[in-house]
Amino acid sequence: MRNFIAVLKDSFREAVDGFLIWLMLILSALAIIAIASFGFEKESAETSFRRITSEFNKAFLKRGSDGREIGTRIKVANQEMTTPIVLPFEANNVQKTDGSSGVSGTYTMRITVNKPLEKKSANPWDRVVSSLLTVDNFRMLLASWAAEKPEEREYIVKIPKFNTDTPSDKPDEKMTIPKPEAVPEGMTAAEFIASKNDTGYQSFTMPDVKPESMKKVDTETMIAFLKQQFLLHGGIDDVDVTRVNSVAEPQYQFDVTARVKGIPTGWSYNSSVFFGSMPFGSPNRPIGQVIIGVQDNIVNTLGASIIFVVSVILTAFFIPNMLRKGAVDLLIVKPISRWQILLYKYIGGCTFVFLVISFTIFGVWAVMWLRSGVMNSAFLLSIPILTFTFMVLYAVSMLISVLTRSAIAAIVITCLFMFFMWGVGLAKSICDISRNLPESPLKTGVAFNTTVDILNAGLPRYNDVMKLNSRLMGQDVLTPAELKRSDRLIYPSWGEALGISFAWIVGLYLLSYWRFATRDP
């Protein structure tokens, strides 16, 4: 243990001796200050509740317990994409009744569910789907939501072509909307498409609720649904709902009393940068989206890439310096084994980067907490995750250092390896899209797909770990609906992503040790 601490302290001393560490800390401090300039302004209760209720048409099957959304589902690149049923929910006359200040308190409002307006959408898919919907979309949605086994039907349709010259907000009158064909009983969608001898077909699934099922939807179901939606889209779990019976169907009205504690995850915010001088992102968004936007997209993606490159440069000198003629002899003759020298030096480099990452992540986390009032503890998990990712890179750097004794070679090859891993991850995504979406403009051949699959299976999972980290980061700040939606995406398992990366670390260390132990200095 004493040897370990000694080598650790030596690595730290080496790191702080150069200017790069100070450059890195200054960059981190500047990043923290820049993030401290973010402003978060809470929207009014009315705006927030109106935004929350506008999301209520995005419902999940089996009373919200299923991760799949109700609507038109098509499979794209192994991921199920859902277009929710068009159904306007509106919150009106929002009032705070307990006279308290701040977000916490009791609110009353009336929610109106209207019949969708007859409007031709610019999106041909919307027009395909609209042609299959009933008049009372609310009852259809609730029947699907409450059913143990949802009534659905598969259709196929010749994919409508988008006219790129038409503005996206105006329907193209000349566009031909193809008629969807229901997949016959006893046949799968794939078989039905195959029978058409035309690759231009796409299958999709739609709720197919029978009229008797719609009639079974009672007031109790409606109230339960709304309570569920408040929880999913607003993060508000203490809600009383009463139906206003005087309104004629297919319009529905409900009086709602919501008791809010703290700041719910669905509450709307307006965000800005540079201390309010410039708006950041679209207004009226749940705070979780803004926080994840900063912590995941800016810090965890762009920031982490910069930290990795600088850390690789900074630590690449540790092992070649140790292996210099005249320096390595002084270490080898001490009562410490070579495997320990190499392992401790490796851990020393990783520990140093761990400290830098901790400083940056903790700083960003703290200023975001202070500025927004939302403490996203999961963001702190980026510290071990980013350090682990760096450990893979540093293991590559260690091997190159032992083989070549050149810090420059270690830097260049490690950075190339990092970009290669990232490139393979990107290529894997492109291949998946190409394989699953016939109309995708990205066309990849079988040989390319196979090569990418093999490389992706064998390489450390740089992209996968980052992807999993992103999901983890949203746990405390995103609304349950946003989390459910992200859970529907295909994620690699932690075991696979970390296991393969760890196997690489062990393998690279063993190779490095073998070379270090057998080569005469």
Distance from C-alpha of 369 to C-alpha of 132, rounded to nearest angstrom: 47
Q: Is the CA virtual torsion 109, 71, 434, 170 positive or negative?
A: negative
Environment class of residue 433 by beta-carbon count within 10 Å: exposed (0-12), middle (13-18) or buried (19+)? middle
Taking the complex as a whole, the smallest distance from the CB of residue 363 to other proteins amounts, in Å, to 26
Of 15-44, binders to other proteins (CB under 8 A) are: 17
Q: Are 449 and 435 in contact (CB under 8 A)?
A: yes
Neighbours of 30 (CB within 10 A): 10
Element (H, E) at 72: strand 71-76
User: Does 2 help bind other proteins (rule: CB under 8 A)?
Assistant: yes
Half-sphere exposure of 100 (CA within 13 A, CB side): 11
Taking the complex as a whole, the smallest distance from the CB of residue 15 to other proteins amounts, in Å, to 9
Residue 21 vs 395, nearer CB to other proteins: 21
Distance from C-alpha of 389 to C-alpha of 308, rounded to nearest angstrom: 9
Q: Which of 10, 66, 80, 453 forms a contact with other proteins (CB under 8 A)?
A: 10
Taking the complex as a whole, the smallest distance from the CB of residue 491 to other proteins amounts, in Å, to 43
Q: Are 237 and 265 in contact (CB under 8 A)?
A: no
Distance from C-alpha of 41 to C-alpha of 5, rounded to nearest angstrom: 47
Instruction: Give the interface segment with other proteins, choosing from 13-21, 94-102, 176-184, 443-451 (CB under 8 A).
Output: 13-21
Provide the Cα torsion 175, 176, 177, 178; round to 10°.
-150
Taking the complex as a whole, the smallest distance from the CB of residue 18 to other proteins amounts, in Å, to 8
Taking the complex as a whole, the smallest distance from the CB of residue 3 to other proteins amounts, in Å, to 6
User: Does 215 help bind other proteins (rule: CB under 8 A)?
Assistant: no
Residue 234 vs 348, nearer CB to other proteins: 348
Taking the complex as a whole, the smallest distance from the CB of residue 497 to other proteins amounts, in Å, to 36
Q: Which residues contact 101 (CB under 8 A, 6 or more apart)?
A: none
Extract the tokens encoding 141. Answer: 């949605």
Residue 331 vs 511, nearer CB to other proteins: 331
Taking the complex as a whole, the smallest distance from the CB of residue 39 to other proteins amounts, in Å, to 43
User: Does 520 help bind other proteins (rule: CB under 8 A)?
Assistant: yes
Total residues in contact with other proteins, by rule CB under 8 A:
26
Contact track, other proteins, 322-361, x by CB under 8 A: --xxxx-xxxxxxxxx------------------------
Residue 8 vs 380, nearer CB to other proteins: 8
Neighbours of 459 (CB within 10 A): 20
Taking the complex as a whole, the smallest distance from the CB of residue 21 to other proteins amounts, in Å, to 11
User: Does 476 help bind other proteins (rule: CB under 8 A)?
Assistant: no
Environment class of residue 17 by beta-carbon count within 10 Å: exposed (0-12), middle (13-18) or buried (19+)? exposed
Distance from C-alpha of 225 to C-alpha of 17, rounded to nearest angstrom: 62
- The amino acid occupying position 137 is N
Residue 24 vs 452, nearer CB to other proteins: 24
Of 143-162, binders to other proteins (CB under 8 A) are: none
Distance from C-alpha of 289 to C-alpha of 477, rounded to nearest angstrom: 8
Q: Position of tokens 């946003």?
A: 482
Residue 117 vs 333, nearer CB to other proteins: 333
Q: Is the CA virtual torsion 425, 431, 433, 436 positive or negative?
A: negative
Taking the complex as a whole, the smallest distance from the CB of residue 345 to other proteins amounts, in Å, to 12
User: Does 174 help bind other proteins (rule: CB under 8 A)?
Assistant: no
Q: Which of 321, 351, 440, 451 forms a contact with other proteins (CB under 8 A)?
A: 321
Q: Which residues bind other proteins (CB under 8 A)?
A: 2-3, 5-6, 9-10, 13-14, 17, 321, 324-327, 329-337, 518, 520-521
